[in-house]
Amino acid sequence: MEARHLSAADASVDAVLLLGPLYHLVDAAARAAALGEARRVLRPGGVLLAAAISRFASTYDGIRSGFVADPYFESLVAGVLTDGVHRNLDPVAHPQFFALAYFHRPEELRTELRAAGFGSVDLVAVEGPGAFQNGLDLSDEAKRAAILRAIERVEHEPSLLGASSHLLGIGIR
């Protein structure tokens, strides 16, 4: 289904999941069209869940994976930090690096959702602080509950949102 041209009727669905279009649509006007379509098909009170990749995801991934010293990868990261566009122009030669995509700053995602007419907008970090702990053991129920409470306390903190590689934008029509 093409996110910029949904087949659903106006105000006909309770929820829309955009789990890819916002990063695969590099052009701002194309992202705006997809968000506008999502709002159009939502009933009043309907919920949009829109995934985005953080502007800083390549930096984190490069350090974690060891790609950070690769000159081609370094040029990808520099471009993303400049204008948000991840330009893997030769995915055949570099299949280990993500495709052409747009990576958001948290405030950009919030602005795009509001500009599309979503009155209530929230952002949450998908990975959150638990992503930085390798081998996180969640088998102990009390420890798991404490970790989830800790994450919940900071998952909406604006100053930490960019520290997540992925963001979830939540909009209510």
CATH numbers and ranges of domains, the chain: 13-54+104-172 (3.40.50.150)
Would you place residue 57 in the very low, low, confident or very high pLDDT band (cuts 50, 70, 90)? very high
pLDDT mean across residues, the chain:
92
The pLDDT value given to residue 134: 73
CA 115 to chain centre: 17
3 state SS for 42-82:
EEEEEEEEEEEEECCHHHHHHHHHCHHHCHHHHHHHHHHHH
Q: What is the per-residue pLDDT across 117-157, written as a single tens digit (0 to 9) for each?
A: 998 999 999 887 777 677 778 899 998 899 889 888 888 88
DSSP at 165? S
Exposure b/e, 53-81, CB count within 10 A at least 16 = b: bbbbbbebbbeeeebeebeebeebbebbe
Residue 29: closest CA among 4, 55, 2? 4
Q: What are phi and psi of 167, to 5 degrees?
A: -120, 155
User: Which percentage of the chain shows pLDDT scores above 90?
Assistant: 69
pLDDT score at 147 = 85
pLDDT tens-digit map of 78-104: 999 999 999 998 888 889 998 899 999
- What pLDDT, on the 0 to 100 scale, is given for residue 73? 93
